[in-house]
Structure 1
Amino acid sequence: MARRIQKSRQAIIDAFMRLMSEKEFESITINQIAVEANVNRGTVYLHFDDKYDLREQCIAAQINQLLRHCMSGDHLVHLPSKTALLHTFEYLEQHASFYSIMLKSKGSTVFRNQMETMFGESLSEYLDSINLDKEMDRDITVQFLTSATVGILEWWIIRSMPYPPSVMVEQFWNLLNRGVEGHEHLSLGSR
């Protein structure tokens, strides 16, 4: 993508995020985004179908960056691991503005659902790569761990990160291990 086109696209995304921090998503218009980004409406439509597409692309880009960052160092995804959790909490801390805006807005269910989908898919891939204890249903395990992970991340972000990432990881890790204790095939280890 040419530098000028990329600059325009980033200006639109930045403008959208500024507007999201000030008002509810439903009240934001393409005109407002264009004015805030200092581009014309047509430029916004060159990059995005509408404001819903803009929101979806922003969310997808952030979640993909989160996944890439949190899984760096491992070519194979080894979820859940302490290292991956620590990388996740640290990444969220560094990008708190975006995640806080998305989780505190009225349309937060869209963002939360995408996070759950992303974590669920990663966890499913992991469970497919191990020999899950036959007493544990794969779908229930994925749902439980996904809900727990997204729920604790959401709680932490909405409350302005009252604990450092290392404390969150230790507490969450201990809770996860208690929940699967006795099921050696889903051992969470100490990665």
Structure 2
Amino acid sequence: MKGSLEEIDVQSAKDKLILSFRQLVIIKEFEKLTVAEICEKANVSRKTFYTHFKDKNDIIEQIVLHSISQPFKEMRMLYTLHDLPSTLLMEWLYQRIYEDKEFYANISSFTGQNSLQEFVLKHTTEMLETILESVDMSEVDKEYTVYFYAASHTLLLIKWICDGMIVSPKKMAGFYDKWTIPIWQDFSQNKKR
């Protein structure tokens, strides 16, 4: 039987924790936010928290994965299949972040280990590695190419968020299109036969 009562309760506890985290991070600095506060707001135990997350930073990664990275990968596949302009896809990404401006601004305030910046870099790197798997270039060239584009996009995204998203999502997508699309089109022409 799909979706037993126990599974539903477990999922709802995880959802409550994520929702509570999102609400609290809007009103309190991320660095000062405690697991105890998240649990109290969600009305769940610390044990339940640690069943789902390693720490409060893990919630950020789960949000990035499920709200941005996974949908972006799925949309990218559709855009590729239907040969749609990648500018629209990138605009969707920036618009999604823009619509949750306050949340992303508050979780971008710290850098380093387990930060939004680190998670975006990790997921962008994984996606770009997959894209370049079938491209005919040396492994070293792939590694450096992936790092260059993943790091530059991540840093630009974080700058945009920290600057208060003063550039529109459409213009950000335009930057991406102008600065990177011609190069990625060249890569796609060098697929292994």
> Fold match, TM over 0.5?
yes
Contact 1:120/1:146 (<8 A) preserved:
yes
> TM-score, with normalisation over the residues of structure 1?
0.72
> TM-score, with normalisation over the residues of structure 2?
0.71
Contact 2:91/2:169 (<8 A) preserved:
yes
Contact 2:30/2:107 (<8 A) preserved:
no
What residue number does 1:137 align with? Answer: 141
Q: Which moved more, 1:118-127 or 1:97-106?
A: 97-106
Residue by residue over 1:57-112, the C-alpha shift from the partner in whole angstroms, topping out at 9 and shown as x without a partner, is: 34443343443454252477x9x933432232222223334422221246686221
Question: What is the CA-CA distance between 1:125 and the residue it aligns to?
Answer: 1.8
Contact 1:156/1:162 (<8 A) preserved:
yes
Question: What is the CA-CA distance between 1:163 and the residue it aligns to?
Answer: 2.3
- The 3 A distance-change label for structure 1 pair 177 and 70 is closer
Alpha carbon RMSD of aligned pairs, Å?
Answer: 3.4
Residue by residue over 1:138-187, the C-alpha shift from the partner in whole angstroms, topping out at 9 and shown as x without a partner, is: 22222221122112221222222212222222233223368x4xx97337
* Identity rate, percent: 25
- The 3 A distance-change label for structure 1 pair 52 and 166 is closer
What residue number does 2:39 align with? Answer: 34
For structure 2, the residue ranges without an aligned partner over 5 or more in a row are: none
Q: 2:124 aligns with which of 114, 119, 123?
A: 119
Question: What is the CA-CA distance between 1:116 and the residue it aligns to?
Answer: 0.9
Question: What is the CA-CA distance between 1:4 and the residue it aligns to?
Answer: 3.3
What residue number does 1:8 align with? Answer: 13
How many pairs were matched up? 181
Measure the CA separation in 1 of the matches of 2:98 and 2:9.
Answer: 30
Does structure 1 residue 162 correspond to structure 2 residue 166?
yes
Question: What is the CA-CA distance between 1:3 and the residue it aligns to?
Answer: 3.2
